[in-house]
């Protein structure tokens, strides 16, 4: 079999329930043996829990989630039934401002981290301090898409990995110039991680091992991936 590069995606199990103030880096370091260049993907949910981004919500009020989503938004783009598509303070366009009631205790809602890139940097620093290993970190969340049904996981924060790898100007296989191939590798890594996380399996961390070492370095989602309002053709 003529094989080139390969990537392995590993689910990290045993993390258990995360509570406000928990040390995520310590919990991950306890359950995973990290290697240099690994990308550690953690779901927004456990980051929000560890950071105490949980708020009370009336479980009997069907409009409570939408009202909360609106307070978390800077712009409401569309409404349809119980769904509200908003632009969050970060600039993410997503359903319900990312407010999420699944996998949280009854009567509580998880909000997005205030600064998911910072969350990723802190976790990366914590993992380095505990393990001595340089890894990259991606905070992932599950977003819908304008033109396609179904949700996929994307990166809402990252550290130690370039968010978008610019292949403009590199030659294609026929020696011609590529004109616009800026690949959002952090979103692709987040999607790859989701394949082993599952939604009901309660696996909030995965390791993506073997990504191109040239992608590692300084990167951020908010500044590099979020499309600014004035560049947007569809908002």
| Of residues 140-179, those binding a second copy (CB under 8 A) | 142, 145-154, 163-164, 167, 170-174, 176, 178-179
The span from the CA of 143 to the CA of 116, in Å, is 15
How many CB atoms within 10 Å of residue 31? 13
24 contributes a contact to a second copy by CB under 8 A: no
C-alpha 140/C-alpha 87 separation (Å) is: 17
Q: Tokens for 84, please give them.
A: 């509200």
Write out the binding residues for a second copy, residues 77-96 only, by CB under 8 A.
77-78, 80, 85, 92-93
What part of residues 95-114 is at the interface with a second copy (CB under 8 A)? 101-106
Distance CA 67, CA 179 (A): 44
User: Could you give the 3-state DSSP secondary structure of residue 101?
Assistant: coil
Piece of the chain touching a second copy by CB under 8 A; list 46-54, 114-122, 133-141, 226-234: 226-234
Among 71, 199, 217, 218, binds a second copy (CB under 8 A): 199
Dist CA 219 CA 161 (whole Å): 5
Q: With respect to a second copy, which residue has the nearer C-beta, 129 or 178?
A: 178
- Closest distance of CB 151 from a second copy, Å: 6
Q: Which of 10, 54, 67, 222 binds a second copy (CB under 8 A)?
A: 10
Map the footprint of a second copy across residues 45-74, applying CB under 8 A.
none
Does residue number 203 form part of the binding site for a second copy (CB under 8 A)? yes
Does 185 contact a second copy by CB under 8 A? Answer: yes
Query: Contact at 8 Å (CB) between 124 and 159?
Result: yes
Tokens describing residue 139:
């905070």
């Amino acid at each position: 079999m003529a094989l080139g590069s390969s990537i392995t995606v590993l689910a990290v199990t045993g993390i258990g329930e995360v509570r406000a103030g928990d040390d995520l880096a310590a919990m991950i370091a306890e359950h995973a043996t990290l290697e240099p260049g690994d990308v550690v993907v953690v779901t927004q949910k456990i980051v929000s829990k560890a950071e105490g981004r949980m708020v009370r919500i009336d479980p009997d009020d069907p409009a409570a989630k939408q009202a909360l989503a609106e307070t978390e938004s800077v712009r409401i783009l569309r409404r349809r039934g119980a769904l509200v598509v908003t632009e969050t303070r970060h600039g993410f366009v997503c359903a319900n401002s990312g407010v999420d009631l699944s996998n949280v205790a009854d009567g509580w809602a998880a909000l997005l981290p205030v600064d998911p890139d910072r969350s990723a940097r802190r976790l990366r620093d914590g993992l380095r301090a505990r393990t001595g290993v340089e890894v990259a970190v991606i905070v992932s969340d599950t977003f819908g898409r304008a033109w396609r049904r179904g949700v996929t996981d994307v990166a809402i924060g990252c550290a130690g990995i370039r968010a978008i790898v610019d292949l403009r100007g590199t030659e294609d296989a026929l020696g011609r110039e590529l004109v616009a191939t800026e690949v959002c590798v952090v979103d692709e890594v987040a999607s790859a991680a989701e394949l082993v996380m599952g939604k009901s399996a309660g696996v909030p961390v995965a390791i993506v091992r073997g990504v191109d070492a040239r992608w590692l370095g300084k990167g951020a989602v908010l500044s590099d991936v979020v499309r600014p309002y004035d560049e947007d053709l569809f908002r």
